[in-house]
Amino acid sequence: MIAMKTSQLAAQFDQGETVCLSFHYHNKFNISFLNSLITKILARNNKVYLRDTVITVLKEIIVNAVKANSKRFFFSLNNLDMYNNEEYTRGMTEFKSFIVARKELIESELKKSNYRVKLYLKKNGNGFTIVVRNNTPMHPDETLRVRERIEKARSYKDFADVYEDLSDDTEGEGLGLLLTILFLRNSGIGEESLRIESQNGFTQTSLLIPETIKPGPIVNKIQTKILNEVDELPSFPENIMELIRLSKKPDVSMKELSDRIVLDPALAASVLKLSNSAGFITRKRIDSVHDAVKIIGLKNLNMILVASSARNIMSARYSAFKEIWNHCNRAAFYARQIALQKGYAALAEHAFLSGLLHDLGKIVLLSTTAKLVEWISDFTRNREIRTSTVLEEIAIGMSHSTIGASIADKWNLPHYIIESVRHHHSPLNSDAAFRDIVALTYLANTLCGIESNRYDYPSVEEEVLSMFSLEDRDAFNSFHETLQSQYEEHNDVISSAS
């Protein structure tokens, strides 16, 4: 239903009409409706890459508008006069805990009231404008705070400065507007695109998405550190490169290959481990490298060599990230199964390898900036932001997807892997030539994210759902359940054989 309605509104917007939405509260349904609509409008304007920025900023604006309405409701509920200094101070202290503790009450009371938040979307000569308006004026104290925060945001060079200033402030009080301004600046939309006004009983925040976006390079200490880190990663060892070349030769014998692999015990161990990993070709336990090569075949051996070497380099350098690799194993299994079951069988093995490597960048990111990343993920959880990628980007200047892609690039991995790693969170931005493999990786990773409650069904890109005929929510859920039980079953076979 959401999909149909948002498509109609997006068409209305295309024709130059103003699209208007009106609501009382930022509940899950409204936010996912908005996500879907904004995605479509941006996609039609060739600006889908701005999606996470626009949605995050917009959500912040809407939360503030609802908060302003809730505040009026709270003051009238308690017979407090906002324009009496003493009552205002007292009311504000109580309001802060009220808004956190009584969300349901606020939502149902606002529904009965005249307090509204309206959202207008309209094209204009210079791009398009999003206006969020609530029907309460700003209190002088709010006007002052807004002005102070905007000034403060302008004084920050980058997000690392904000982080140093506010790292204890996990509640995000006061952080929203600062963050919004830095988001706008770093995304190239520009901080001057945001305007906040209050008049005639309304407060209005407007955001202009200009036709021409000029992103400036974001350079900060952390980014430099990460870039150096990627730079210093070793290349694939020469014996592996040689094996990879050999395995591509049509006339190579399996014995020759396995004999060479056995010479390198670390490699032999990881080839065995990956050949046995859940989701791979066979359910039978493989005990020797010779059997592995025979059973999995040359094409797959090549893939296993790449994945094993990548993992070996990472684990020799960074402490164990078992959780990430386990997640990648599951994603690889899912990616391969989706390919096999949904008409992309030719891509099954590529999908598997993309799944195995898609979060490479996370390891470098976590190792380099553990404390910051932890804080980012707390912050995203608190604010229910769909993905932490966008915050990584503004905080660090690059996301784990970008970092992963530069590692894959450094290792001269095939182009489809670089592209899947780069866009496993943003499939619509990928190069059309690699759209299928990217979508497989994206969907596999998203299914894992749904299992850990990071995503939900409405947040899945509709284009991807339709590629795999999963537009129907029930069909989607039952397909997901099937994959889950296939994975558990496979894992059981593998572990009971060991």
CB of 314 to Fe ion, least distance (A): 15
CB 229 within 8 A of CB 368: yes
**Three-state secondary structure readout of the chain:** CHHHHHHHHHHHHHCCCCEEEEECCCCHHHHHHHHHHHHHHHHHCCCHHHHHHHHHHHHHHHHHHHHHHHHHHHHHHCCCCCCCHHHHHHHHHHHHHHHHHCHHHHHHHHHHCCCCEEEEEEEECCEEEEEEEECCCCCHHHHHHHHHHHHHHHHCCCHHHHHHHHCCCCCCCCHHHHHHHHHHHHHCCCHHHEEEEEECCEEEEEEEEECCCCCCCCCCHHHHHHHHHHHHCCCCCHHHHHHHHHHHCCCCCHHHHHHHHHCCHHHHHHHHHHHCCCCCCCCCCCCCHHHHHHHHHHHHHHHHHHHHHHHHHHHHHCCCCHHHHHHHHHHHHHHHHHHHHCCCHHHHHHHHHHHHHCCHHHHHHHHHCHHHHHHHHHHHHHHCCCCCHHHHHHHHCCCHHHHHHHHHHHCCCCHHHHHHHHCCCCHHHCCHHHHHHHHHHHHHHHHHHHHCCCCCHHHCCHHHHHHCCCCCHHHHHHHHHHHHHHHHHHHHHHHHHC
Q: 206 vs 367, which CB is nearer to Fe ion?
A: 367
In the complex, the smallest distance separating the C-beta of residue 280 from Fe ion, rounded to whole angstroms, is 19
Nearer to Fe ion, 49 or 120 (CB): 49
Q: Which stretch binds Fe ion (CB under 5 A): 163-171, 223-231, 285-293, 443-451?
A: 443-451
C-beta of 199 vs 452, nearer to Fe ion: 452
For Fe ion, the binding residues in 102-161 under the rule CB under 5 A are none
Pick 176 or 361: Cβ nearer Fe ion: 361
Taking CB under 5 A as the binding criterion, the range among 28-36, 43-51, 206-214, 439-447 that sits at the site for Fe ion is 439-447
Nearer to Fe ion, 175 or 464 (CB): 464
- Output the smallest distance, CB 400 to Fe ion, in A: 6
- If binding means CB under 5 A, how many residues of this protein chain bind Fe ion? 2
| Closest distance of CB 435 from Fe ion, Å | 18
Shortest reach from residue 404's CB to Fe ion, in Å = 8
Q: Which of residues 334-393 bind Fe ion (CB under 5 A)?
A: 359
User: At 147, which amino acid appears?
Assistant: R
Instruction: Pick the binder of Fe ion from 445, 467, 476, 479 (CB under 5 A).
Output: 445
Beta bridge partners of 203: 134, 198
Shortest distance (Å) from residue 328 CB to Fe ion: 7
Nearest-angstrom CA–CA distance, 438 and 416? 8
Residue 52 within binding range of Fe ion, rule CB under 5 A: no
Site string for Fe ion, 15-44 (x = CB under 5 A): ------------------------------
Q: Which range binds Fe ion by CB under 5 A, 118-126, 188-196, 438-446, 479-487?
A: 438-446
Quick one: 142 or 392, whose CB is closer to Fe ion?
Answer: 392
For Fe ion, the closer of residues 359 and 393 by Cβ is 359
Which segment (113-121, 219-227, 272-280, 440-448) binds Fe ion by CB under 5 A?
Answer: 440-448
CB of 80 to Fe ion, least distance (A): 47
The least CB distance from residue 428 to Fe ion, in Å, is 16
Residue 142 or 359 with smaller CB distance to Fe ion: 359
- Least separation in angstroms between residue 344's CB and Fe ion is 19
For the CB of residue 32, give the shortest distance to Fe ion in the complex, in Å: 21
Q: Which residue number, 69 or 445, has a Cβ lying nearer to Fe ion?
A: 445
> CB under 5 A: which stretch of 24-32, 52-60, 227-235, 442-450 binds Fe ion?
442-450
Residues near Fe ion (CB under 5 A): 359, 445
